[in-house]
Amino acid sequence: MRNLRLPLLLLIGSGLFGQTTGTLNPRVRRIVSEVSADRIAGTMKKLESFGTRGNFTDPGLPDRGIGAARRWIHDQFQAFSPKLEVSFDSYKVKKEGRIYKDVEIVNVIAILRGTTQPESRIIVSGHYDSLNIVLKPGAELRDFGDGVTDAMDNEKSAVANAPGASDNASGTAVVMELARVMSRYKFEKTIVFVAFAGEELGLVGSTLYADKAKKQNDRIEAVLNNDIVGNDNDGHGISQSRSVRVFSDDPADSPSRALARYVRACAQRYVPGFSADVVYRGDRFSRGGDHTPFVADGFAGIRFTTPAENLLAQHTGEDTFEKASAPYTASVARVNAAAAASLALAPPRPDVMREITTGINKGQKTPNLGRGKDRTDAVLRWTPGTPDGKPVSDLAGYSVVVRSTTAPYWDHEILVGNITEYTLTRLSIDDVILGVKAIDRDGNESPVSAYVALPYPRRPIELQ
């Protein structure tokens, strides 16, 4: 155990705490540099060329509709590398809600197996289906997305042209480009590249996949979902080409929020001049995406979306490649590449929780954080992550991170070495948020595990 014996504020002022800078990994830098805007443009144009990728189109048509699109995506995955395990993930879904008739929903999956932590999975996703909302005669769409099920003419919408360039050929292009580039490399963890179907029907493909993963006890560490990342102009003349929104669910130190902070840091390190701006909500106001069912099932998930979302063109025949920007999509892809590669090379997150062994709360989990013998310190304890039940062989050690309870990001960092207990002397654990991350010998960092108290279950009080 090591001790820090100066007040926190004095250390901040003295510069003994260093700002978090991170280490640039040459392999991650190469991966980011190999992302091609031209390849992304070609993918977006090809997906647009199918006319529509509507979920209810005839899947047997050779050059039009969702069946032709998914076969092309599948074949492209296979052509990228023999290391990719490519498959269709198919479900027969009954008529209900937006699903106006029975339909087959088919996700397209390409798996790049990890070497030393293969059971740990990083998912890079985007949906490939598209939608053109054709209203019933006399119906009005009161606001974007409002009352679509009742107002939409299902039969006409099913066959109408739905180019879906930004929503969401762009997200699919990100997934496919990362599969092409990253399949040339080896990673410790498994990376799963997924093109989801049924998103426009209510997140159907991703919900079925996430629920199956939860049932199978899959170890999904992160879901990076790309949806509407194809345009940098909102249709009203406002252009925003230097950033992407990263949505993550509350609370402030949820696994999804920790993932969003991690992505932001990766963008700062590997994609200078282009920012990943964290938005503190699960998705756009009152809306959702294919990361949503994963978060609901207890996995960490975030959504990438352009800040210049063109709502006038979205879900119409006007969402074309002419309104898109492949260079912008390529910038988003580089952020994804930096984050996915960093996560897939990183050691597992340390466990900062312990189990209560006595008293009425026996069996409950609580942060392994104490106040020390004199009740004025912050004593942090943690246990190493052990993927597949095995210790990490290349672990260098840990960093303790600190921020104010009102600060959005970690302010300061202490490299503490390969230990599992650390004390910050004369620091009240009530006034700051504390966390720990693991670092391997190549400088790869895990996301932060934060010390956050869980609410104890309420117990009924019996009256005499």
Confidence at residue 214, expressed as pLDDT on a 0 to 100 scale: 97
Confidence at residue 180, expressed as pLDDT on a 0 to 100 scale: 98
Confidence at residue 1, expressed as pLDDT on a 0 to 100 scale: 38
CB 190 within 8 A of CB 122: yes
3-state secondary structure the chain: CEEECCCHHHHHHHCCCECCCCCCCHHHHHHHHCCCHHHHHHHHHHHHCCCECCCCCCCCCCCCCHHHHHHHHHHHHHHHCCCEEEEEEEEEECCECCECCCEEEEEEEEEECCCCEEEEEEEEEEECCCCCCCECCCCCCCCCCCCHHHHECHHHHHHCCECCHHHHHHHHHHHHHHHHHHCCCCCCEEEEEEEECCHHHCCHHHHHHHHHHHHCCCEEEEEEEECCCCCCECCCCCECCCEEEEEECCCCCCHHHHHHHHHHHHHHHHCCCCEEEEECCCCCCCCCCCCHHHHHCCCCEEEEECCCCCCCCCCCCCCCHHHCCHHHHHHHHHHHHHHHHHHHHCCCCCECEEECCCCCCCCCEEECEECCCCCCCEEEECECCCHHHCCCCCEEEEEEEEEECCCCCCCEEEEEECCCEEEECCCCCCCEEEEEEEEECCCCECCCEECCCCCCCCCCCCCC
Confidence at residue 97, expressed as pLDDT on a 0 to 100 scale: 85
Q: pTM of the prediction?
A: 0.92
Confidence at residue 22, expressed as pLDDT on a 0 to 100 scale: 59
Q: How many angstroms separate the Cα of 269 from the Cα of each of 1, 142, 155, 437?
A: 31, 43, 48, 17
Confidence at residue 238, expressed as pLDDT on a 0 to 100 scale: 87
Give me the amino acid identity at 365. K
Q: Are strands 378-381 and 369-370 parallel, antiparallel or unpaired?
A: antiparallel
Nearest Cα to 446, choosing from 348, 301, 352? Answer: 348
Measured between alpha carbons, how far is 250 from 265 in angstroms, rounded to an integer? Answer: 19
Measured between alpha carbons, how far is 281 from 247 in angstroms, rounded to an integer? Answer: 6
Give me the amino acid identity at 227. D
Please, which residues bridge with residue 303 across strands?
225, 247
Angle at 161 (CA atoms; ends 87, 60), nearest 5 degrees: 40
Measured between alpha carbons, how far is 264 from 258 in angstroms, rounded to an integer? Answer: 10
Tens digit of pLDDT at every position of the chain (464 positions)? 344 433 343 333 333 333 334 578 999 999 999 999 999 999 999 999 999 999 999 999 999 999 999 999 999 999 999 999 999 999 999 999 889 999 999 999 999 999 999 999 999 999 999 999 999 888 877 665 555 667 888 999 999 999 999 999 999 999 999 999 999 999 999 999 999 999 999 999 999 999 999 999 999 999 999 999 999 999 888 899 999 999 999 999 999 999 999 999 999 999 999 999 999 999 998 889 999 999 999 999 999 999 999 999 999 999 999 999 999 999 999 999 999 999 999 999 999 998 887 776 777 888 999 999 989 999 999 999 887 667 777 899 999 999 999 999 999 999 999 999 999 999 999 999 999 999 999 999 999 999 998 776 777 888 98
Measured between alpha carbons, how far is 111 from 220 in angstroms, rounded to an integer? Answer: 13
Measured between alpha carbons, how far is 403 from 98 in angstroms, rounded to an integer? Answer: 44
Nearest Cα to 254, choosing from 305, 209, 301, 287? Answer: 301
Residue 95: how many CB atoms within 10 A of its CB?
A: 10
CB 452 within 8 A of CB 367: yes
Domains of the chain: 2-22+349-450 (2.60.40.10), 34-345 (3.40.630.10)
CB 20 within 8 A of CB 401: yes
Chain position carrying tokens 């104890």? 456
